[in-house]
Amino acid sequence: MPITGDIASIGECMVELAPIEGGFYRRGFAGDTLNTAWYMRALLSPAARRIRYVSAVGTDGLSDSMVEFLAANALDTRSVARLHDRTVGLYLITLAGAERSFTYWRSMSAARLLAADPGRLAAALDGVGLVYLSGITLAILEPDDRSRLFVALEALRQRGGEVAFDPNIRPKLWSDRATMAAVITEGYRVATIALPTFPDDAELYGDESPAVTASRIAALGVGEIVVKNGAAPALVRFGQQEFMVPAVEAQPVDTTGAGDSFNGGYLAARIACREPSEAAALGHAVAARVICLRGALADMELFADLRVG
Ligand code: ADP
């Protein structure tokens, strides 16, 4: 699948406050679609591929810092809209032993309006050959904006672009299960590449096995499907072919970002014209390293030996 043009990842980046010693917190930036963009960036040369982050932030200093952070890591920020009456979402991590719990302030975040302006959305996807989004991207949008995004993605698909979708199921972000199931199914319908996680889809749709998950998604018109399944092999379905790709053995210390980093590895390899089996192996290799480190965003240099383009 030769992909021409830019890569775009659409979603919400948040401010993360993580506890350090003495009651202090370290400020970071995080978000599922940022994580995937990050690992695509780590594996593809900035000289060869532009990776846009498509989102919205405020015009305050904290929003400025987030945009500077993205740009400093070679992510293209021209499609990060600046909205003067909003700011960025924030979450704070609380530790109780090894368990982490999260408190969120995101209901009024600017990213919820990322698809509100049709002209801005069209510009964000202009010249894009592959777009990545998640169920979290869909969950934070108002229904009208979500429909607008689906129309724009369908248009991109019609002009030969790839639409990669990970449902990244987070029941708390949805008003009810029926809406969540229906919108995620719609996400699959518009996708050309689906990247689900088996236990999550099994819980929502009652799938008995990864093969059933893949068949259900294929029936929605998706030609390329990777069903992740933790330490177990990933099932890849590509057209009529189906194969299992074993994970890399790892002793995880923090599985935050496992699926997102797998997606980054898989998509980077596909963008670099590698076969799906090789792409899934790269996804596993990236994820196995990420889960052995704390936090979702690891130093990109740690992945230099895995670069594909
Ligand atoms: P998610 O993070 O979306 O819940 P998974 O748990 O399926 O997704 O993990 C995504 C990927 O992370 C897996 O496909 C695999 O590559 C890697 N991974 C997760 N857990 C392990 C593990 N215990 N050992 C090795 N690899 C793992």
Kindly state the average pLDDT of the residues 56-70.
98
- Is the beta carbon of 247 within 6 A of some atom in ligand 1? yes
What lies within 8 Å, CB to CB, of 17 at 6+ separation is 25, 26, 27, 28, 90, 91, 92, 93
Across residues 194-205, what is the average pLDDT? Answer: 98
pLDDT at 5: 94
CB-side exposure of 81: number of CA atoms within 13 Å?
A: 25
**In this structure, which residue's CA is closest to atom 16 in ligand 1?**
284
Say what the pLDDT of residue 263 is.
98
Sign of CA dihedral 204, 207, 209, 211: negative
Provide the number of structural domains found in the chain. 1
pLDDT band at 98 (very low <50, low <70, confident <90, very high): low
Q: How confident is the model at residue 295 (pLDDT cuts 50, 70, 90)?
A: confident
The verdict on residue 163 lying in a domain is yes
Residue nearest to atom 18 of ligand 1 (CA): 230
CB of 228 sitting under 6 A from ligand 1:
yes
Structural domain including 156 reads 6-12+32-86+111-306
Residue 240 within a domain: yes
pLDDT > 70? residue 69? yes
> What pLDDT does 172 receive?
92
Could you tell me the CATH number of the domain that includes residue 68?
3.40.1190.20
pLDDT digits (tens, 9 = 90+) for 121-143: 999 999 999 999 999 999 999 99
Report CA torsion sign: 64, 67, 73, 76: negative
Q: How remote is the CA of residue 96 from the centroid of ligand 1, in Å? A: 23
Is 85 catalytic? The answer is: no
Answer yes or no: is the C-beta of 255 below 6 A from any ligand 1 atom.
Answer: yes
Q: Residues with Cβ < 8 Å from 74, sequence gap 6 or more?
A: 41, 46, 51
Ligand 1 center–CA 136 separation, angstroms: 18
Q: What percentage of the chain has pLDDT greater than the value 90? A: 89
The confidence score (pLDDT) of residue 273 equals 96
pLDDT of 100 reads 78
- Does any domain span residue 171? yes
- The catalytic residue among 144, 166, 260, 299 is 260
Whether pTM > 0.95 for this model: the answer is yes
The CA 16 to ligand 1 mean position distance, Å, reads: 22
Which ligand 1 atom minimizes the distance to the CA of 257? Answer: 2
For the CA of 249, the nearest atom of ligand 1: 25
Nearest CA to ligand 1 atom 12: 258
Task: Report the atom number in ligand 1 closest to the C-alpha of 284.
Answer: 16
Task: Please tell me the predicted confidence (pLDDT) of residue 253.
Answer: 87
Q: What is the pLDDT of residues 296-305, one digit of tens each?
A: 899 999 999 9
Q: Is 70 a domain residue?
A: yes
Res 179 pLDDT > 80: yes
**Residue 245 forms beta bridges with which residues?**
234
Whether 20 maps to a domain, the answer reads no
pLDDT of residue 80: 98
Residue nearest to atom 5 of ligand 1 (CA): 230
81-88 mean pLDDT: 97
For range 250-256, the mean pLDDT: 89
Of residues 50 and 255, more confidently modeled: 50
Q: How many CB atoms lie within 10 A of CB 234?
A: 26
Residue 25 lies in a domain: no
Reported confidence tier of residue 60, pLDDT bands at 50, 70, 90: very high
Cα–Cα dist 34/297, whole Å: 9
| 100 falls within a domain | no
**Is residue 292 situated within a structural domain?**
yes
- Give the per-residue pLDDT at 182: 98
